[in-house]
């Protein structure tokens, strides 16, 4: 009797497990993810095989890596539409250098450096020229895509060395599993971005600028610097994602990653990162990217007609964000 009363008492004073769970955005997202996994493993024989899981992990790793950078930009109150073009461009620069006979390390570094530079230019246009991020990156998206076509004359760059392709095709043995290298990169970058956003002053400032730029500036935060760092990081990480994709496919096509910026932004938004800025975390973006890829995977495994797939993906984007909004209102 005594203990029961105590329990009741606790229930009124402390928020219940369910309430606490609902209050935590990440937990809600994980719940959606787990729900999908359970349903899919019941409906198909192939979903919950190690082979398929790692296949899915690799497939969304580059989108996720690019969306970490995107998340930092969105949290800081901006948006980066040039992410897809950057993914293609870093692959093309690296591939062309490799074909020209340069070594892998140099080519990869150049590919990353170029997209880092593009990200920095985006940052300058936003912070110094005061262009709206949407316009500035819309412009770079088109400029970079033009460079992709122009430099390759429309042809995909092929015959890349094995040592480069192993970046995207190698599986690393962890316990009993063979985990694809891009998935490990993804986790590493997620941790790094998490540390940047949650454990550093710069990260704190990013949330502040995204939440209320005017107030942040009044508080003495160098908003221009925050934006520069965010866009530079987004360029670099998009380039990294593009490199891994190129390494996995063994080909750098000028048309690669076309429209991926929307997937990258959608991953962040599904992950609870508010487009108005100042809110969210990279873990959300990671789960958002996972949800999208699992959905695509599921539609194929279930034999869902290809013609209807875009409709299903759109519905999930809206659904996931609506659940998140509903949860926020409840709390």
Partner 1 sequence: MRRGKWLVFGLVMVLVLGLLISGVFAQEKKKLTFAWIPKALNNPVFELGRDGAFAKAKELTETTDYTVEVLYVGSVASDAAEQVRVIEDVIAKGVDGIGVSCNDPDALVDVINKAVDAGIPVMTWDSDAPKSKRFTYLGVSNYDGGKAAAELLVRYMGDKGKVALLTGVPGAFNLEERIRGFKDGIKDYPGIEIVTTVACYDDINQGVQVVEETMQAYPDLTGWFFVGLWPLFAERGSMPLWEEAAKSGRVKTVAFDTLPVELEYLKEGLLVGLVGQKYWGWGYDTIQMLFDYVVNKKEFPSWTDSGMDIVTIHNVDAMIEAWKTSDFTKPLPPAFPEE
Exposure letters 125-159 (e unless 16+ CB within 10 A, then b): bbbeeebebeebbbebbeebbebbeeebeeebbee
Which of 46/200 has CB closer to partner 1? 46
Which of 173/259 has CB closer to partner 1? 259
Dist. CA 162–CA 110, nearest whole Å: 19
Which of 220/303 has CB closer to partner 1? 303
Q: Let me know the angle formed at the C-alpha of 64 by 60 and 66, rounded to the nearest 5 degrees.
A: 125
Dist. CA 318–CA 320, nearest whole Å: 6
Dist. CA 278–CA 280, nearest whole Å: 7
User: C-beta of 11: minimal distance to partner 1 in Å?
Assistant: 46
User: C-beta of 193: minimal distance to partner 1 in Å?
Assistant: 23
By CB under 8 A, name the binding residues for partner 1.
Answer: 44, 46, 49, 51-52, 55, 59, 146, 149, 153-156, 158, 160, 165, 169, 245, 248-251, 253-259, 296-297, 300-301, 303, 305-307, 309
User: C-beta of 249: minimal distance to partner 1 in Å?
Assistant: 4
User: C-beta of 253: minimal distance to partner 1 in Å?
Assistant: 6
Q: What is the C-alpha radius of gyration for the chain, rounded to an integer number of angstroms?
A: 21
User: C-beta of 294: minimal distance to partner 1 in Å?
Assistant: 11
Which of 28/63 has CB closer to partner 1? 63
Dist. CA 189–CA 187, nearest whole Å: 5
- H/E run at residue 102: none
Which of 197/316 has CB closer to partner 1? 316
Dist. CA 102–CA 108, nearest whole Å: 10
Which of 87/226 has CB closer to partner 1? 87
User: C-beta of 166: minimal distance to partner 1 in Å?
Assistant: 9
């Amino acid at each position: 009797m005594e203990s029961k009363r105590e329990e009741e008492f606790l229930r009124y004073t402390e928020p219940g497990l369910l309430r606490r769970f609902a209050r935590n955005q990440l937990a809600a997202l994980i719940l959606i993810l787990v729900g999908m996994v359970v349903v899919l493993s019941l409906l198909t024989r192939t979903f919950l095989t190690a082979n398929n899981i790692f296949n899915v992990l690799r497939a969304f790793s580059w989108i996720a890596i690019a969306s970490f950078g995107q998340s930092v930009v969105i949290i800081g109150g901006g948006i980066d539409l040039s992410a897809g073009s950057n993914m293609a461009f870093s692959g093309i620069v690296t591939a062309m250098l490799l074909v020209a006979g340069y070594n892998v390390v140099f080519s990869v570094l150049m590919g990353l450096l170029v997209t880092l530079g593009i990200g920095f230019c985006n940052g300058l246009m936003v912070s110094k020229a005061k262009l709206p991020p949407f316009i500035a990156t819309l412009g770079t998206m088109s400029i970079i895509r033009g460079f992709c076509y122009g430099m390759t004359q429309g042809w995909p760059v092929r015959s890349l060395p094995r040592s480069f392709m192993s970046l995207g095709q190698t599986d690393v043995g962890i316990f009993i599993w063979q985990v694809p290298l891009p998935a490990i990169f993804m986790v590493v970058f997620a941790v790094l971005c998490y540390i940047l956003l949650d454990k550093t002053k710069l990260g704190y400032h990013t949330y502040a600028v995204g939440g209320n730029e005017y107030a942040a500036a009044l508080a003495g935060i160098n908003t221009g610097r925050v934006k520069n760092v965010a866009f530079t990081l987004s360029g670099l990480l998009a380039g990294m994602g593009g490199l891994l994709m190129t390494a996995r496919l063994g080909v750098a096509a000028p048309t690669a990653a076309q429209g991926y910026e929307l997937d990258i932004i959608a991953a962040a938004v599904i992950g609870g990162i508010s487009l108005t800025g100042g809110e969210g975390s990279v873990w959300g973006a990671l789960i958002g990217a996972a949800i999208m890829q699992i959905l695509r995977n599921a539609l194929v495994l279930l034999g869902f007609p290809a013609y209807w797939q875009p409709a299903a993906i759109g519905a999930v984007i809206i659904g996931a964000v609506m659940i998140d909004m509903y949860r926020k209102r409840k709390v």
